[in-house]
Structure 1
């Protein structure tokens, strides 16, 4: 895609419905033919897609690939118009560079240390058991996302942050709209405005009545002058809520699908629960809930592989592709719940490594470890080929997962 003089040729690959339904087939083809290549996103923007493990992992930690587009770029640098409300919410720590990223991460990381997360085990187990009891008393055929993956994932993150129970269902619709690659600009703006107004009201309420939750702790940090602006507080809530429930929802659903379509590995895990920690890592590698890391852009010409990406270009690092790269993982397209999957980039790498990783691992172990023995007859209720994946270039998540429980 780059000629001898370094000139970019027209991108021929487009991320559309075939990509949504089979990203791994798309990635496998590019890993072998064009591991660093320009593609057109569903929104019509050209980005550089990086697909090989070695390149992806190195680029995730490369400071020449920046995140803070507000500081480094002007509106003229964008291929699409950026809505100011959505841009406001998007200015969270995941889209910032040091020192701002370092400052904000320091304020939140204490809530996600292994010790703090381990203390959540009893409550996560209780929530899981409540959902399983409801499933056992419900119909024999159901949507596992609707009755288990979504309510479990959203309840855990909402309780941690401090989101009222009655407000949680709205977040699913908001999140799906903002992460969809098919939504209109008007729909995205309306959703961003609704979330902004909601968080503004919630912060005001929590200021009046503090609680033992992360939101109250961040408000205290903000009001005590601990270098946290009101803008940063609101965008932090947006990031934690969306990222916190979306990734876990799709790990549970995608992981269950992977196990149901690999019955030997499912039985192996049922017979040996000690495999749960390695199984969760393997499911993060094999059924990663994200197709790629959030976008970066080059501050200067950057060589990845044997391709020079010019300055000011958007770059998309395909972590799901890296996790299936046969040069890093033997027999990479095979699910193996006993595999040593260490080194996978399902949580990213470098300074933006997912701070919620300890929580995701704990939730995964409890979810899979409780669901599988509770329903030994668990099976797909429709052919795998009939399942549909959400139309999102970022999220690799099923629209629904019909299963038979018994």
Structure 2
């Protein structure tokens, strides 16, 4: 059994392309000892089978108390915060189960179908704004706008608060590796104070929104403490946005790089579901799942993990595992698969996945109808990515297309 083959110090740029990451670490082993770009030591899993098993392994805990003491300096911004650790993403069973019972009611198939007309209306409005122009930045005009508008309307977040909401989201999701504990703490306090005020307002004047619905459930069942309620509402807001933003922009780029896929979709719109899954696989919106701590000695691949050690999973690398996906570097919207790890796996599988898929279905179907002759406005090599090893976000995605009048004009 291999215990250590040397530590690889990774940079944020290594995560931009799973082929680069696998080239640095090697494709023959599924787990590697690394130093992450923020300096935190970890065992990084790149193998699909090993990653899937680890994400569902109850011996790998999310709670910070399970981490070895030497990891504490890297956990201050999250686990010592008075707000973040109270969401289900940083908790294990049975607390995770208790919280999920309240939160999961938001993402049922019935709720998603109720949202579909609203998602379509918002999408049509965004395309109306750009279709006569013949040129747009997909990230700024579409990808950022659609998920934020959907979730903020659903939760009835005031329009005048949304820009600040989006700004603090960027800090939390690690869109720059230079974010320190001070910035993280400031964002935490903003969300905590903001949601405290929103919840007080909804208790006094309930509305037809998801926060009001959660409060009604909470009054009946008392499943969550006040801080757990705020922290999990925050998780639903931010988690539902981040995945969809990157899926939309990265997916548009994937289609532009593979024009034959656009022709296939226009010829057969029923392929849209498979196209979304392939978009999620080929360029996962969330690249790395961190903060799993061994509660006992366990073996992953040929490595023995010691209690307290940190295990992270590269979702992007796992999605390029040739043992799971034939020709993994090939973008194939007719690929028969539904087992990519882009929404994670196990009890921490992304609850917002149904909403992201709904938004993707509506967005990409509308894109193909509304923007003829879609093309990159700059050479592909000029596109750049935000410096992050957690999420995969373009700086911008400028495109051109044949101008057309707004819908229904």
**Same fold (TM > 0.5):** yes
C-alpha deviation, 1:252, in angstroms: 0.3
Whether 1:32 aligns to 2:32 is no
Is 1:222–1:230's contact at 8 Å kept on the other side of the alignment?
Answer: no
Aligned to 2:161: 167
Is 1:39–1:49's contact at 8 Å kept on the other side of the alignment?
Answer: yes
Q: Deviations over 1:48-83 (max 9, x none)?
A: 10001110111111111111214x358665133614
C-alpha deviation, 1:230, in angstroms: 0.7
Whether 1:238 aligns to 2:234 is yes
- Give the counterpart of 1:311 among 297, 307, 310: 307
Normalized against structure 1, the TM-score is what?
0.93
Between 32-41 and 372-381, the greater mean CA deviation after superposition:
32-41
Is 2:9–2:35's contact at 8 Å kept on the other side of the alignment?
Answer: yes
- Give the counterpart of 2:280 among 264, 280, 284: 284
Is 1:42–1:182's contact at 8 Å kept on the other side of the alignment?
Answer: no
Matches within 5 A, 1:55-66: 55-66=50-61
Aligned to 2:320: 324
Unaligned runs of 5+ in 1: none
What is the alpha-carbon root mean square deviation over aligned residues?
1.9
Distance (Å, rounded) in 2 between the aligned partners of 1:376 and 1:86: 48
Unaligned runs of 5+ in 2: 403-409
- Give the counterpart of 1:366 among 362, 369, 383: 362
Is 2:386–2:392's contact at 8 Å kept on the other side of the alignment?
Answer: yes
Is 2:29–2:301's contact at 8 Å kept on the other side of the alignment?
Answer: no
- Give the counterpart of 1:334 among 307, 324, 330: 330
- Give the counterpart of 2:126 among 116, 128, 131: 131
Q: For 1:32, what is the secondary structure of its paired residue?
A: coil
> Are the structure 2 counterparts of residues 291 and 273 from structure 1 closer, same or farther at C-alpha, using a change threshold of 3 Å?
same
Distance (Å, rounded) in 1 between the aligned partners of 2:52 and 2:23: 17
Distance (Å, rounded) in 2 between the aligned partners of 1:107 and 1:159: 20
Structure of greater relative contact order (alpha carbons < 8 Å, 6+ residues apart): 2
Is 1:75–1:81's contact at 8 Å kept on the other side of the alignment?
Answer: no
C-alpha deviation, 1:15, in angstroms: 2.8
Distance (Å, rounded) in 2 between the aligned partners of 1:31 and 1:87: 40
Aligned to 2:136: 142
- Give the counterpart of 1:119 among 105, 114, 117: 114
Matches within 5 A, 1:3-402: 6=3, 8=4, 11-16=7-12, 18-30=13-25, 32-70=27-65, 72-73=66-67, 77-80=71-74, 82-83=76-77, 86=81, 88-137=83-132, 139-178=133-172, 179=174, 180-402=176-398
Q: Deviations over 1:175-196 (max 9, x none)?
A: 1122232223322222222222
Aligned residues: 399
Distance (Å, rounded) in 2 between the aligned partners of 1:358 and 1:310: 36
> Are the structure 2 counterparts of residues 27 and 163 from structure 1 closer, same or farther at C-alpha, using a change threshold of 3 Å?
farther
Distance (Å, rounded) in 2 between the aligned partners of 1:186 and 1:330: 45
Q: For 1:48, what is the secondary structure of its paired residue?
A: strand
